[in-house]
Chain A
Amino acid sequence: METYKTITKIKDPLITVTGVENAMNGDMCIINSGGTEMLGEIITAYGQDAVVEAFRPLRGLSRSKLQVTCTGEIFSIGVTEHILGRAFDGLGRVTDGGKLVPEKKTIVYGSPINPYVRDKPKDFIETGISGIDCLNSLVMGQKLPIFSGSGLPGSDIAIEIVKNAKTRKDTKFAVLFGAMGVKDSEANKFTDLLDGKNGDRTAVFINRASDSIIERITLPKIIMTHAEYLAFERGYDVLVVLTDMLSYADALRQLSSERKQVPGRRGYSSSLYTDLATIYERCGKIKDLKGSITLIPIVTMPSDDITHPVPDLTGYITEGQILLSRDLFNRKIFPPIDVLGSLSRLMDNGIGKNFTREDHRQVANQLYFAFSKGMDARNLSALIGENGLSDDDKIYLKFLDDFENKFIRQQPGEPRSIEETLDLAWTIMKDLQSLPRIEKNIIEKYGKK
């Protein structure tokens, strides 16, 4: 470890140090200023000059008091199973006052999974939300974002999922929850997760809006590093929920402008895609290993615009999306899941006889079918009035109301098992004259309950 006092330049969050011997790219540094310490990382080195990026704002620090110590290590964190039930900040430091003894240290940047050993995502994760479980099922190893809008309850849905998600196998299950750039009012809701049901299988990582942006950027890397340890070394099925990726990307944009990088679309760095991918792609399953990493990133779409770079690039990397609807939200339906705009590409790998129930796929198809009939009927009735509808259309209109008010609508804290969800689907379909998307024997078995 070498300590340098030769600071030539400070420009928040960057410090230029000179006279550094054999500077190492990625070296973790301890920045000390008259007693206060913070971490930093060498991001550029040229000859004897090294540029250190500080993880906390440098405001109020004077050049003469600063000293920088190079540790000679790449940014690492201690990993252990005992993170469960605990709370952390964006740098992975315990914030609940207690101590944590790590099993070992791991570099946070990860390495790409060898595509040859990747296993296909399979097996069902029950979120307890009918609109997801039945129609856009989440599969172990999948990454399925929730596209929210400002004011829409993206993080409330995240909380429900963190509390209630479960697997249907007898395996170790852990939920890691990361919140980036959240308001103080929300932050408490998130830490409360640890006290509630399933708190002991959950860890929360919180970076508040007022916290450092660098820690906002490190948070997902730290969470994914823990997830990899739990999944691939300890055999857990890990569900990671990250909110809000827009705050993450905005922090990245701010940093890249401070680093004077060429801005791309809407000012985001041209490397945003790669950057998001290095988080999202750490999900998956590996052949011959027990665990899995599943990811639900919450992405706020500014002005509900799905073509905004963050949701757009996310959509290109993830396997589907859950889209929230402002219309349902305005009608006070929670969770406001836009059925037609949502899609889980890997759904078929995780449902059916071996995973949920044999009628699942057909029930989902039938619901989609009846839903679009119901929408047609609703559009028509807006033109000609409900009285002008045919009897058939009226049935579908009634179905649509039930679908939205009984099936999609759910009280927070009242998760449904997949059996309850499917049974409920049969209940709201019972007035339909015919169920063309479901085979007869399935109707016999499940429809007559």
Chain B
Amino acid sequence: MVAKVLAINENTIIAAGLENSHVGNLVRIGKDKIFGEIVSVSGKETSIQAYEDTNGIRINDEMEDLNEPLSIELGPGLLTNIFDGLGRRLSALNSNFIARGATLISLDRQKKWSFKALKKKDDTVESGDVLGEVKETALITTKILVPPGIRGKIIDISSGEFTVNQNIAELKDPEGNSFKLNMIQKWPVRMPRPFRSKLNLHDPLLTGQRVFDTLFPIAKGGTVALPGGFGVGKTFLEHAFAKFSNTDISIYVGCGERGNEMAEVLNSFPSVLDPHSGKSIMNKMVLIANTSNMPIIAREASIFTGITIAEFYRDMGYSVLLTADSTSRWAEALRELGSEMGEMPVEEGFPSSLFSSLAAFYSRAGVVDTLGTDKKSGSVTIIGAISPPGGDFSEPVTQTTARLADSYIELDSKLAGERHYPPVNWTNSYSPLSGEIQQFYKKNIGPDFFTYVKRLLDLLHESDKINEIASIVGREALPDKQAAILRLSDIAKLFFLQQNAFDEEDAYTPIEITYKMMNILTSFIDKITSMIDSGAKYSDIKSNPIWERMSDLKHATALDKLEKDVNALGMGKTK
């Protein structure tokens, strides 16, 4: 029996004749062959969510069950490219507007890759073992792995020039089945890719953003909730993470966001150089663009398309950062879908499955031992931006994500209003670190790293309290010590915490320099407070030129001189 459309209501289509299909399968509908996904089967009626606009679909239109779930093609050719939420390579569409029913092809079929075999005939291999490699970009060598679920003896393998769909090897398993392998692995996006085991987080993810690398450090394999109202510079911050983090691969998912923002990324990223290699960062990037006016189920899928690509590179032993902007738009897609499906709404109309849906995404982060006999370990870190309605952090998406994520970093509109970027709220944010990472910092960066961090946080919290008083009595009326602390905290904010994304030198700070800055800053704080404690008057020390000189903190080349001067402070005259 041919499957046919029974009913249409916005993006939901009810079909007859699909009662034996699998939930999750893709279907193509009508003469335009638009894509949809089976979401439920009940009696003779099957519910389908269309990935594309349903205008023009007719009752009794025929539909075809593709008999597979939404999958993406993994293989060489992902890096440097931009895909939509369904994994279509946008440069291959050859059109200014996205037409309906365009086929789901991710990888370029024409391009030849130079495949170098690393295994030879008669070798026995398991899932996850490296068969060979391809130089995918100037920065990344893509390893061609034995796909999950396949093992056996190599009966044929050869180096040479191949397109992604040409066979590069043939395997025969102990049962006698043979497998011809090419460089494509097609993988259902909603299914996590397998690994051997999850490990503890043991490596820091250095972002080059000082407030993160010190006060709120992130771990490779960790998850970060990043809520902020509109206009707080969230996007700039995420771009900075995507550009400068010390991960091998960076995946940026624009989920339900502005089209012009993606244009900005596509225009500006190619000329940004990776601070670790000096090559264009596009060499390590994959972009997923689902703009806010694309159909919502495609938006829902975009996050999973992104994380599947992340896992693919993780399985080669790479560290991957996935930045998702914004998970609120994704959750809203869930809400719209839930409402179309008649699901019972709970808090603010979100479906009761919100927690499990977010968990299905965030739990795909982590550090893993990969499959295969050749011991590789890779990681996926997730930074999920959240756009709380009205900037209200008590809303369900922010709160649910906070429960799931390792770190919670709140972007504050008040700080942003004061042009304090990145506007990280130091009171409400937290980012606990495992013992292993603390050890890493102490061993590789500086033994007193966390002492400095604590000193800074204490100063900030103290100055917040004093500011409350100052707003009533005025700064002039404060006692000496409090006045000094306010000024010290101003310095810490202006020249250490604030970072200008537009300034070439300031946009990225290597951790060694950050450490040095923090060292100078905290010894300056200590000097001044101890001078006041031992009886010096603030009015006497406040015009010391050293205060002005602290702006040199931002100039790496001036740090040595500044350090000397700060250390000399209080040694002779104090005025």
- B335's nearest neighbour on chain A, judged by CB, is A270
- A20's nearest neighbour on chain B, judged by CB, is B59
Q: Does B567 contact A (CB under 8 A)?
A: no
- Contact status B8-A45, CB under 8 Å: yes
Q: Which of these binds chain A: B291-299, B519-527, B549-557?
A: B291-299
Q: How many Å lie between the Cα of A48 and that of B14 in the bound state?
A: 13
CB distance from A200 to the nearest CB of B (A): 29
CB distance from B58 to the nearest CB of A (A): 4
Q: Does B363 contact A (CB under 8 A)?
A: no
- Contact status B55-A142, CB under 8 Å: no
- Contact status A307-B390, CB under 8 Å: yes
- Contact status B339-A261, CB under 8 Å: yes
Report if A121-B260 is in contact (Cβ < 8 Å); known contacts: A25-B54, A47-B7: yes
- A293-317: which residues lie under 8 A (CB-CB) from chain B? 307-309, 312-313, 315-317
Q: How many Å lie between the Cα of A274 and that of B392 in the bound state?
A: 20
Q: How many Å lie between the Cα of A365 and that of B264 in the bound state?
A: 23
**Binary B-proximity of A150-161 (CB < 8 A = 1, otherwise 0):** 000000000000
CB distance from A29 to the nearest CB of B (A): 14
Q: Does A346 contact B (CB under 8 A)?
A: yes
Chain B residues in 8 Å Cβ range of A120? 260, 263-264, 267
CB distance from A302 to the nearest CB of B (A): 13
Chain A residues in 8 Å Cβ range of B98? 111-114
Q: How many Å lie between the Cα of A339 and that of B10 in the bound state?
A: 42
**Binary A-proximity of B291-328 (CB < 8 A = 1, otherwise 0):** 11110100000000000000000000000000000000
CB distance from A391 to the nearest CB of B (A): 17
- Contact status A46-B6, CB under 8 Å: yes
**Binary B-proximity of A404-446 (CB < 8 A = 1, otherwise 0):** 0000000000000000000000000000000000000000000
Which residue, of A45, A110, A307, A340, has the highest number of chain B Cβ atoms within 10 A? A45
Interface residues on B, range: 35 or more
Q: Does A115 contact B (CB under 8 A)?
A: yes
Q: How many Å lie between the Cα of A404 and that of B230 in the bound state?
A: 27
- Contact status B262-A264, CB under 8 Å: no
Report if A116-B339 is in contact (Cβ < 8 Å); known contacts: A45-B8, A281-B258, A312-B390: no
Interface residues on A, range: 35 or more
Q: Does B91 contact A (CB under 8 A)?
A: yes
Chain A residues in 8 Å Cβ range of B348? 264-265
Chain A residues in 8 Å Cβ range of B389? 265, 307, 309, 312-313
- Contact status A25-B8, CB under 8 Å: yes
Chain A residues in 8 Å Cβ range of B140? none
Q: Does A289 contact B (CB under 8 A)?
A: yes
- B10-54: which residues lie under 8 A (CB-CB) from chain A? 10, 14, 53-54
- A273's nearest neighbour on chain B, judged by CB, is B332
- Contact status B230-A316, CB under 8 Å: yes
Report if A47-B390 is in contact (Cβ < 8 Å); known contacts: A263-B349, A264-B348, A281-B292: no
CB distance from B88 to the nearest CB of A (A): 10
Report if A115-B90 is in contact (Cβ < 8 Å); known contacts: A25-B54, A282-B293, A346-B260: yes
Q: Does A351 contact B (CB under 8 A)?
A: no
Q: Does A128 contact B (CB under 8 A)?
A: no
- A109-165: which residues lie under 8 A (CB-CB) from chain B? 109-121, 141-142
- Contact status A319-B56, CB under 8 Å: no
Report if A307-B391 is in contact (Cβ < 8 Å); known contacts: A44-B9, A109-B55, A112-B293: yes
**Binary B-proximity of A235-259 (CB < 8 A = 1, otherwise 0):** 0000000000000000000000000
- Contact status A115-B266, CB under 8 Å: yes
Chain B residues in 8 Å Cβ range of A118? 259-260, 262-263, 266
**Binary A-proximity of B248-275 (CB < 8 A = 1, otherwise 0):** 0000001010111011101100000000
- Contact status A317-B292, CB under 8 Å: yes
- Contact status B392-A22, CB under 8 Å: no
Q: Does B231 contact A (CB under 8 A)?
A: yes
22 inter-chain pairs at a CB distance below 8 angstroms, sorted by A residue, are A25-B58, A26-B55, A44-B9, A46-B7, A46-B59, A74-B55, A111-B98, A113-B96, A115-B263, A120-B263, A121-B263, A261-B339, A262-B345, A262-B349, A265-B348, A273-B332, A274-B292, A274-B296, A281-B293, A309-B389, A319-B258, A346-B260
A residues near B (Cβ < 8 Å) are 20, 22-26, 43-48, 74, 107, 109-121, 141-142, 232, 261-265, 270-271, 273-274, 277-278, 280-284, 286, 289, 307-309, 312-313, 315-317, 319-321, 340, 343, 346, 383
Q: Which A-B residue pairs are the 6 nearest by beta carbons? A: A307-B390, A26-B55, A277-B292, A116-B90, A118-B263, A115-B289
B residues near A (Cβ < 8 Å) are 6-10, 14, 53-61, 82, 84, 90-91, 93, 95-100, 230-231, 254, 256, 258-260, 262-264, 266-267, 289, 291-294, 296, 329, 332, 335-336, 339, 345, 348-349, 387, 389-392, 417, 474
